[in-house]
């Protein structure tokens, strides 16, 4: 505790913002970390792990609580529910936290949040769980595999059923397990400013562990590093100077596979916060133009902030709704990047609350939204140009099926490459990329 700041209370506030106000966990957590920038590295680490861990393991936490509580988890006050989840997570997954501390702090939080009368309930449930953790009976995989995996890996059953239909039962289990593994931060080197080798040395001299991120079958993929020991990017001079940006390996592959040429005109139709647009601008070494579009001034503001930090001159941010045709851009673009709104299930490691926001019905509506956008933005591609369609998910309906629909609907576009990445295959998100070439003959 620093200057009277209760780290567990900060974590509870973030979890309540996610649960009651439908805030996104990564933005709510980032906001708290900025407000309490004076926290020590250890305190920031504790806060982050507790918030992300509770959300990542929420189904398992609720299952355990349900075994020892005579009140259903959904009938509890949101604050009590979150306090119990935090307590169970500390008991089960944070070995450095003594059991008595997890229980006592939970009781204090209940009182501080105005639930003095529920202190005995919170204390009783957590102490029973503390004494029985090693004896908890989980659902049996042989009898009900989807339920067993749902509890063990905290993935909703409908997602596991979908992955099982698309990729088979064992692959579904492997994907789910992958979201519980620790992952390092992945960064992309701004090669227009510094080499990967030089940046690696700089970061290692600052005490970070930096390792080259390699990709099978892509020997020219030489600008990614895995970074460990970093919890505050804005305190790293090389980040502030624009020497690197945070980006997943698979996201980097969008521009890598599209390979824009010097002088190209590139339109990124759903760009914020701008990772792929920035990468394309760097790739073209200051030539041509990248137009990084998104739907609101807030989103384009994020892009502009990154443009300034990276000191790039051949890129501009533009407020534009991708569903609305820009007649001035018809047949003008050498490359259109369409990283479209999707279920985002491939990013659950970084955004664990996505698993509770998404539904099958929402997925179906996103499929239609992707098609609506693709119908519009394909018109920007000039004959001989390319369109790259990508998502950060692992749903065939959003990915391969939409790519097949697009090719059937617009046969002048040829599918030249597609790949589905899975989080159990490497230290990266679930991600899909399809590259289309517009044949030179006119429609």
Catalytic residues: 392
Query: Distance (Å, rounded) from C-alpha 182 to C-alpha 178?
Result: 9
Residue 281 in contact with residue 315, Cβ under 8 Å?
yes
Residue (of 407, 395, 404) closest to 431 by Cα position: 395
Query: Distance (Å, rounded) from C-alpha 187 to C-alpha 209?
Result: 12
Residue (of 25, 125, 120) closest to 85 by Cα position: 125
Largest Cα separation within the chain, whole Å, is 76
What would the two tokens of residue 104 be?
A: 């006592």
Question: At how many degrees (to 10) do helices 7-20 and 41-56 cross?
Answer: 40
Sign of CA dihedral 295, 377, 432, 148: positive
| DSSP-derived secondary structure letter, 118 | G
- 3-state SS assignment for residue 436: strand
Task: Mark residue 131 as left, alpha or beta (left: phi above 0; alpha: psi -120 to 50; beta: remaining).
Answer: alpha
What would the two tokens of residue 111 be?
A: 């009182």
| Straight-line distance from the first to the last Cα atom of the chain, in angstroms, rounded to the nearest whole number | 66
Residue 376 in contact with residue 322, Cβ under 8 Å?
yes
Of all helices (H) and strands (E), which one includes residue 277?
helix 275-283
Residue 147 in contact with residue 343, Cβ under 8 Å?
no
Query: Distance (Å, rounded) from C-alpha 166 to C-alpha 397?
Result: 9
Residue 343 in contact with residue 352, Cβ under 8 Å?
no
Report the relative pairing of strands 333-339 and 381-391 from DSSP bridges. Answer: parallel
């Amino acid at each position: 505790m620093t200057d009277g700041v209760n780290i567990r209370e900060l974590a509870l506030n973030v979890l309540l913002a996610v649960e009651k106000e439908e805030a996104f966990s990564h933005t709510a957590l980032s906001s708290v970390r900025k407000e309490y920038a004076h926290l020590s590295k250890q305190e920031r680490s504790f806060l982050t792990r507790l918030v992300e861990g509770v959300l990542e393991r929420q189904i398992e936490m609720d299952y355990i609580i349900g075994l020892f509580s005579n009140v259903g988890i959904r009938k509890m006050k949101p604050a009590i529910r979150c306090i119990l989840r935090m307590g169970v997570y500390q008991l089960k997954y944070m070995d450095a936290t003594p059991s008595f501390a997890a229980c006592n702090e939970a009781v204090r939080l209940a009182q501080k949040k105005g639930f003095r009368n529920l202190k005995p309930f919170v204390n009783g449930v957590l102490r029973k769980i503390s004494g029985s953790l090693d004896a908890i009976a989980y659902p049996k995989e042989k009898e009900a595999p989807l339920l067993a995996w749902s509890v063990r890996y905290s993935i909703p059953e409908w997602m596991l059923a979908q992955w099982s239909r698309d990729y088979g039962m064992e692959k579904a289990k492997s994907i789910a397990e992958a979201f519980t593994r620790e992952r390092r931060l992945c960064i992309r080197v701004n090669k227009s400013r510094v080499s990967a080798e030089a940046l690696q040395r700089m970061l290692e001299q600052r005490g970070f562990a930096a390792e080259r991120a390699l990709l099978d079958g892509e020997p020219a993929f030489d600008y990614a590093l895995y970074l460990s020991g970093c919890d505050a990017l804005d305190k790293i001079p090389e980040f502030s100077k624009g020497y690197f940006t945070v980006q997943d390996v698979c996201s980097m592959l969008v521009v890598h596979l599209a390979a824009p040429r010097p002088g190209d005109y590139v339109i990124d139709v759903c760009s914020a916060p701008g990772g792929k647009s920035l990468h394309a601008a760097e790739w073209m070494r200051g030539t041509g133009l990248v137009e990084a579009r998104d739907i609101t001034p807030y989103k384009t503001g994020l892009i502009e902030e990154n443009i300034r930090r990276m000191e790039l001159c051949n890129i501009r941010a533009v407020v534009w709704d991708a569903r609305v045709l820009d007649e001035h851009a018809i047949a003008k673009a050498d490359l259109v990047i369409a990283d479209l709104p999707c279920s985002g299930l491939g990013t659950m490691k970084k955004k664990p609350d996505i698993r509770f926001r998404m539904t099958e019905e929402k997925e179906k509506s996103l499929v239609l939204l992707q098609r609506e956008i693709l119908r519009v933005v394909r018109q920007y591609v000039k004959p001989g140009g390319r369109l790259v369609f990508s998502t950060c998910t692992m749903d065939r309906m959003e990915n391969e099926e939409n790519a097949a629909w697009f090719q059937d609907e617009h046969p002048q576009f040829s599918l030249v490459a597609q790949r589905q990445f899975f989080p159990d295959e490497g230290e990266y998100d679930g991600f899909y990329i399809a590259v289309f070439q517009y044949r030179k003959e006119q429609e």
